[in-house]
Amino acid sequence: MTATPASPISRQVMVTARGTISFTGQEWRVLLPLVLAGFFETYDTGLLTLAAPVLASGLGVGIATFGVGVALIRLASLASVPVLRQADRWGRRLLLVVSLGVFTLATGMTALAAGLAAFVLLQMVARVFLATESALASLVIAEELRPDRRGAGLSVLGVVSGLGFGAVGGLLLVVPHTPLDWRLFYVAALLPLGIVAYLRRNLRETRAFLVARAANRVQPSLWPRVGRAHRRTLVRTLALVSAFGLVQTTGFFYASDLAQNTYGWSGRFTIIVLLAAVFGVMGFFLGGRVSDLVGRKPMVAVAIGLAAAGTVLMFTQVRGLFAPGFFLAAAGGACFIAVTLAYLAELFPTEIRATLTAFAVACQVAAGSLGLAVVGGLSGVVSPSLLMVILGGALLASLLLLRGLPEVRGCDLICDGASEPPREGAGASEPPRKGAGERPSPRLRPQGARRATASS
């Protein structure tokens, strides 16, 4: 008996069931020019943390003075919110070109900085457009990839971003032996930036924005109009990402201090950080590809649980629990990044998506700075380790915020002109309600419906 070849639909179902990660040629043409945005973000963060002593010495200032400059540079990323607003007004592609150009220019000029003031000023400009670049890259990936590969694409972005710290570590071995000294960090970044510019030359505007513009949904106002129903969703989302940012940023900062200054683990802590990269990759897979299969809300809950457990374990001051706690926190942080980037893209319509995503990321950054200030201010009265154990346990309370948020995994981001967010519990099998005259995306039809249409 001759075996009947599997239909294209059957093969698609089998591939999805196995959970494999595969992208079409067009999807790779979107991914390749964008995944390096995550690399530059972690590379820049690594320079201001891992390479901070080298930079401070090269600029002729103490580490404490340099730390003040780093705080100013970090806060500059909040200015990316009004810049990203223009992506909802003018389009994603134009802002990607502008942000890459300004960031490249500021990076190259940083290598020529004559002192700390010039360094901080140039890096503040660079950070604004780096934050813009990073947010836009994740947004375009979410809008252009198939709904069932959206999280997987963001996983790739996250995994590539982890290479940034490795690049900084490698250059730390080379910098002392070159006449350029610390300036080599910024000169070396120009080559991959040039490669990215070349790869992006044929990048198109996203279909989601083109459809929104054609339907006259684009809002020309400087600040977007957010409907009442979307406002409720936004408030819950901001509270969720702010709580996570407060605990995660503060936790990793004081974990480094605990390991190196209290335990005296200089070399051992470096090994722990390197091993944590493996758990970071696992976290990106959970928050990306796995959330494509099981939903965004369950994986947000998993990320919060991992981060809370990891924070408590790290700061129990039982040395044997520090490394497992650090690994869990790293996995939870990576999982949260991947799943929330996909979730934010799916929660809000195209005409306000970039603005509200930028606002959420800004709130997470601001909450992290607030956490550092609060724990630092109370450190003379209460042990930072005790405060972190309390904060880690309190993070679990943020799970209650998920109850009022809808499940939107796999929803259509192209014809998403609904006036209200999807109902709670609506997912890929029940797409969000459409506006008048709009047809549901064929990508979201049940497989049986497709077969019935074809046979008729």
**CATH code of the domain covering residue 40:** 1.20.1250.20
- Please identify which residue in the block is written with the tokens 């497992």: 324
Burial of residue 433 (number of CB atoms within 10 Å: 0-12, 13-18, 19+): middle
Closest CA to 424 of 232, 227, 144: 232
How confident is the model at residue 416, as a pLDDT? 59
Distance CA 370, CA 35 (A): 30
Same domain, 384 and 282: yes
Range of the domain at 398: 227-413
* Number of structural domains the chain divides into: 2
Q: Is residue 331 part of a domain?
A: yes
Note the residue count of the chain. Answer: 456
Give the residue ranges of the chain where pLDDT is below 70: 1-21, 416-456
Same domain, 386 and 346: yes
Q: Is residue 430 part of a domain?
A: no
- For 424, half-sphere exposure in the C-beta direction (CA atoms, 13 angstrom radius) is 9
Same domain, 346 and 250: yes
Q: Is residue 79 part of a domain?
A: yes
Q: Is residue 427 part of a domain?
A: no
> Do residues 266 and 260 touch, judged by C-beta distance below 8 A?
yes
How confident is the model at residue 333, as a pLDDT? 92
Closest CA to 281 of 396, 431, 155: 155
Distance CA 399, CA 378 (A): 26
Q: Is residue 89 part of a domain?
A: yes
Q: What is the pTM of this model?
A: 0.79
Same domain, 297 and 364: yes
What is the 3-class SS of 322-377, one letter each residue? Answer: HHHHHHHHHHHHHHHHHHHHHHHHHHCCHHHHHHHHHHHHHHHHHHHHHHHHHHHH
How confident is the model at residue 124, as a pLDDT? 93
Q: Is residue 433 part of a domain?
A: no
Residue 56 tokens, joined = 């401070």
Quote the radius of gyration of the chain (alpha carbons, Å): 23
Distance CA 18, CA 423 (A): 29
Same domain, 176 and 263: no
Same domain, 299 and 382: yes
DSSP state of 262: I
How confident is the model at residue 368, as a pLDDT? 85
Same domain, 197 and 261: no
Same domain, 174 and 236: no
Q: Is residue 422 part of a domain?
A: no
Same domain, 128 and 271: no
Same domain, 231 and 208: no
Q: Is residue 220 part of a domain?
A: no
Same domain, 261 and 320: yes
Distance CA 111, CA 187 (A): 6
Same domain, 208 and 231: no
Q: Which amino acid is at 235?
A: V
> Do residues 398 and 304 touch, judged by C-beta distance below 8 A?
yes
Rounded (5°) CA angle 82-86-87: 120
